């Protein structure tokens, strides 16, 4: 046994003990779900006596499949909406130069300081006026306006790319309106895209917005 392994044994033992400690409640939960109701709080981790009646009763009492399907649909729609909208807005702030760009970007970041309690009632009134309060649309459609945090991360990543990379296709048949779809989109899904904002830009990037691809106005 090498000295390196001997030095790591205390850490491995501590991590193993912590893992077992945090796993025990989950193991007990599964074991209790496989027992009759009167034996739920019995001693031991083995499901004795064993039964599947709890699962049968739960699946027959409520529409679990419908709930799971709704959760998947809303989750996918919300993730797709916030990803696409945030990427487009970030590309606009990173590539295009126009008067008031930095001011608008600052206002976008300022929205992160608004607590949910402040926007909750106005948001409800908006969806109520649109007569969509009894639908799933408000659960994901709000993401169509992007997320200030994701916009900042994606913009910082796009600023780390040479501006010439996007200008190289400016005169082609795809034109300027296809630059994001053709050049930026293939780069954004990679995990490094979000990490790139932290790797290439120090914290002062919050204030020094005009870097490389997006110079200050």
pTM over 0.75: no
d(CA 127, CA 195): 35
d(CA 88, CA 76): 18
Fold category of 64-206 in CATH:
MetI-like fold (1.10.3720)
pLDDT digits (tens, 9 = 90+) for 30-69: 999 999 888 888 777 888 888 899 899 988 998 999 999 9
pLDDT digits (tens, 9 = 90+) for 114-162: 998 999 999 999 999 999 999 999 999 999 988 999 999 999 998 888 8
> Chain centroid to CA 59: how far?
30
Pair 158, 92: CB distance under 8 Å: no
d(CA 7, CA 19): 20
Max Cα separation, the chain? 75
Q: How confident is the model at residue 164 (pLDDT cuts 50, 70, 90)?
A: confident
Q: How confident is the model at residue 188 (pLDDT cuts 50, 70, 90)?
A: low
What residues does each domain of the chain span?
Answer: 3-61, 64-206
Torsion of the alpha carbons at 141, 142, 148 and 154, rounded to the nearest 10? -10
d(CA 215, CA 208): 10
Residues 6+ apart with CB under 8 A from 215: 97
d(CA 188, CA 92): 14
């Amino acid at each position: 046994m090498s000295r390196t392994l001997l030095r790591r044994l205390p850490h491995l033992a501590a991590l193993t003990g912590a893992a077992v400690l945090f796993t025990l409640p989950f193991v007990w939960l599964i074991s209790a779900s496989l027992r009759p109701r009167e034996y739920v709080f019995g001693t031991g981790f083995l499901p004795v006596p064993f039964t599947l009646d709890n699962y049968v009763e739960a699946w027959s009492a409520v529409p679990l499949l419908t709930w799971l399907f709704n959760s998947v649909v809303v989750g996918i729609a919300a993730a797709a909406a916030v990803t696409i909208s945030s990427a487009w807005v970030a590309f606009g702030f990173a590539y295009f130069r126009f008067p008031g760009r930095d001011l608008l970007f600052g206002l976008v970041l300022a929205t992160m300081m608004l607590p949910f309690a402040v926007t909750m009632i106005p948001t409800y009134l908006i969806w109520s006026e649109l007569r969509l309060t009894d639908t799933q649309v408000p659960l994901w459609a709000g993401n169509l306006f992007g997320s200030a945090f994701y916009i900042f991360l994606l913009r910082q990543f796009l600023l780390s790319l040479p501006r010439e990379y996007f200008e190289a296709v400016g005169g082609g048949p795809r034109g300027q309106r296809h630059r994001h779809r053709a050049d930026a989109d293939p780069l954004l899904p990679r995990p490094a895209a979000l990490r790139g904002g932290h790797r290439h830009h120090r914290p002062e990037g919050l204030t020094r917005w005009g870097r490389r691809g997006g110079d200050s106005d």
